[in-house]
Amino acid sequence: MRVIYIDVDSLRPDHTEPYGYRRKITPNLGEFARDAVVFDRYYCSDSPCMPSRAALSSGQCGITNGVIGHYGRASRFHFLAENVHPEDRPLLGGHLYRHGTYTASVSCFAERHPAY
């Protein structure tokens, strides 16, 4: 199985070809989506963007995983139960890797985001 998760900051889905936008501003994304699973409903569990991404990768809302903001303690992932080891609750990439999927990430967030 191949999983490619594309997370684009500040781009409305209704302004991309996979979601019906008629202007050809995302031709590569449109071509990619033709042979892929494209979700037509996605609901943001947290806001702003960093807590939302942490929720997606952890499977837990910010109130549980601890990421509720962009800075300081509000940006740190934590476990509520002290006896829970991080290996018992892996993030999405770790879970895929443990089940035989090679994982990689390409991101510019480490250069522009204080919570990397």
| Interval 85-103: pLDDT, tens | 566 777 888 888 888 888 8
More confident residue, 116 or 95: 95
What residue spans define the domains of the chain?
1-42, 49-112
This model's pTM is above 0.85: no
DSSP-based three-state secondary structure for 87: helix
pLDDT of 114 reads 54
Rounded Cα distance, 4 and 10, in Å: 19
| Interval 44-95: pLDDT, tens | 888 888 888 888 888 888 888 888 998 888 888 876 555 555 667 778 888 8
Q: How far is CA 69 from CA 23, 66, 72, 74, in A?
A: 35, 9, 8, 5
